[in-house]
Amino acid sequence: MAFDLAISEFNDLLFMGNNDLALVFGNSLIEQRIRLRLKIIRGSWIYDTSKTLGSDLRQILHETQQSAASKVEPIVRQALLPMKDIRVQSVDVFQGTTEREIIIRVNYSQTPSPGVAPGVQPTVQQVEFPVSFQP
């Protein structure tokens, strides 16, 4: 089973009660990978030689919310395209808690593994990601 180190919403490593590093796996791992891909600026990570990790969401930060909302879906789909273990079903955008924030909701399903009975529909999961706009 795949796993990774657990990372907080503030990009800090998480620890368990016994001071060991916390791990994340299953659906939580997929959600963490989606959030990281949306948060990282595409091409900014030095070890990503193919320049496919991250998103271009920063391009919409100085636009109006209405203009930005119409551009979000292709940016999100492009950022998540390298994740072969999921299939993006839809991308929804709605108002955040302030007028300078939108929430991006990614609805996805896991790509069926070999050996899964044909006709079995994967469950649709969702993960939300806030984007704050600059004044």
Q: How far apart are alpha carbons 80 and 111 in whole angstroms?
A: 13
Q: What is the pTM of this model?
A: 0.87
pLDDT at 121 over 80: no
Cβ neighbours of residue 50 under 8 Å, at least 6 residues apart?
none
Q: 65: pLDDT confidence band, cut at 50, 70 and 90? A: confident
Identify any residues that bridge with 3 across adjacent strands, giving them in sequence order. 25
pLDDT at 119 over 90: no
Burial of 34 (0-12, 13-18, 19+ CB in 10 A): buried
Mean pLDDT of 58-70: 83
What are the structural domains of the chain?
30-132 (3.10.450.40)
Residue 69's pLDDT is what? 82
Q: How far apart are alpha carbons 54 and 39 in whole angstroms?
A: 7
Phi and psi, residue 66, nearest 5°: -65, -45
3-52 residue pLDDT tens: 999 999 889 999 999 999 999 999 999 999 999 999 999 999 999 999 99
Tokens of 123: 């469950």
Residue 96's pLDDT is what? 87
Mean pLDDT of 114-123: 70
